[in-house]
């Protein structure tokens, strides 16, 4: 069939218009963590609110399950992700080029949007393993977390302060968060170490399935950690939150933070922070870990990196800065 010249022009115009409409929507991706942790639903909650306003800002948000904090920062630096959920201590290490980032050089282009919730360190042990303190982990089968995760960083700090090296363990496991509860209950592990918002699905699974004790972290080791690392703070895992653990459990840990790159356009960042704070009550209701959030704490606590200009613009409009 031959298309007449005037009809061909109309078809071309429609095609161009359709292509323009299709390309008018921008896409952003948020790096999270394992699907049983809190990073994954945190990223999902943020994207849900961003997508709620998609007809206005033409930005579509999606999440990606990743290896965690260290992975997310490296992916943001490469340009593979626009945003990521990371621990506050990992954010600080990336800026300084220390710890897990000693070989990466400092990442001066890292930018913060806000912090989210505290992440107490969980040292989860079988009740028959004879573990009452961090020092008792020596000679045990312990999951220290997968490489690239913030939990692995914290596990290494805890073991160092307890005078234990990975070689001192009967097994230094590197299981992901989705695998460790089953390994504990099957006796493949004596203990596991991870940081997580409250409540944590892996801890709930383990404590609901078998006899599990969450070990208190207080005393000299905790004092040394908090004195040496300003990115951490004392924390409490409330009694009764997990089956079989009726008393408050002292701990310490970072905050989960939401970060991006200085290269990400201001309008993307503005859309994200406005989506969260314009729908703040809805955001707090999307996960139990968000229930006690306060705006004034979120825009300063746990943030080592400079705020992104897109976030600054919104916060100044609200009179918060």
List, for residues 185-197, the tens digit of each pLDDT value.
999 999 999 988 8
Domain boundary among 221, 253, 285: 253
For residue 3, the model assigns a pLDDT of 39
Q: Indicate the pLDDT class of residue 60, thresholds 50, 70 and 90.
A: very high
How far apart, in whole angstroms, are the C-alpha atoms of residue 71 and residue 219? Answer: 32
Domain boundary among 253, 286, 307: 253
Q: Say if residues 188 and 140 touch (Cβ distance below 8 Å).
A: no
Q: How far is CA 131 from CA 9, 30, 215, in A?
A: 78, 37, 8
> Residues 1-48: pLDDT tens digits?
343 444 444 444 444 443 444 447 899 999 999 888 889 999 999 999
User: What average pLDDT does the segment 73-97 reach?
Assistant: 96
DSSP 8-class letter at 96: H
Domain boundary among 253, 278, 299: 253
Q: Are residues 184 and 249 in the same domain?
A: yes
Q: Is 63 helix (H, G, I), strand (E, B) or coil?
A: strand
> Residues 198-225: pLDDT tens digits?
888 899 999 999 999 999 998 888 999 9
Query: What CATH number does residue 198 fall under?
Result: 3.40.190.10
Domain encompassing residue 125: 121-253
How far apart, in whole angstroms, are the C-alpha atoms of residue 237 and residue 207? Answer: 14
Number of domains in the chain: 2
pTM over 0.85: no
Q: Are residues 127 and 224 in the same domain?
A: yes
Q: What is the residue-averaged pLDDT of the chain?
A: 90
220 domain-assigned: yes
For residue 316, the model assigns a pLDDT of 98
176 domain-assigned: yes
Q: Are residues 135 and 223 in the same domain?
A: yes
Question: Regarding predicted confidence, which is higher, 89 or 190?
Answer: 190
Q: Which residues contact 165 (CB under 8 A, 6 or more apart)?
A: 159
């Amino acid at each position: 069939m031959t298309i007449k010249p005037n009809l061909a022009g109309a078809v071309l115009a429609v095609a161009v218009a359709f292509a323009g409409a299709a390309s008018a929507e921008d896409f952003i991706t948020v790096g999270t963590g394992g699907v049983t942790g809190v990073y994954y639903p945190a990223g999902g909650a943020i994207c849900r609110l961003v997508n709620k306003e998609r007809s206005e800002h033409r930005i579509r948000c999606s999440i990606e399950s990743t290896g965690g904090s260290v992975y997310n920062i490296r992916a943001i630096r490469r340009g593979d992700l626009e945003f990521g959920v990371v621990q506050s201590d990992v954010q600080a290490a990336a800026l300084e080029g220390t710890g897990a980032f000693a070989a990466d050089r400092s990442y001066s282009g890292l930018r913060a949007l806000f912090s989210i919730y505290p992440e107490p360190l969980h040292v989860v042990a079988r009740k028959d393993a004879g573990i009452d303190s961090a020092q008792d982990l020596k000679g045990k089968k312990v999951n220290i977390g997968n490489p690239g995760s913030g939990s692995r960083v914290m596990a290494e700090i805890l073991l160092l302060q307890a005078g234990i090296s990975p070689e001192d363990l009967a097994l230094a496991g590197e299981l992901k968060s989705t695998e460790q509860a089953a390994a504990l209950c099957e006796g493949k592990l004596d203990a596991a170490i991870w940081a997580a918002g409250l409540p944590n699905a892996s801890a709930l699974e383990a404590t609901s399935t078998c006899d599990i004790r969450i070990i208190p972290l207080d005393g000299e080791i905790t004092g040394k950690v908090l004195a040496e690392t300003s990115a951490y703070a004392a924390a409490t895992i409330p009694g009764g939150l997990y089956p079989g653990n009726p008393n408050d459990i002292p701990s310490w840990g970072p905050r989960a933070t939401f970060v991006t790159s200085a290269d990400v356009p201001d309008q993307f960042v503005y859309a994200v922070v406005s989506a969260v704070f314009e729908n703040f009550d809805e955001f707090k209701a999307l996960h139990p870990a968000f229930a006690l959030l306060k705006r004034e704490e979120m825009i300063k606590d746990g943030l080592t990196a400079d705020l992104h200009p897109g976030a600054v613009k919104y916060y100044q409009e609200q009179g918060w800065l």
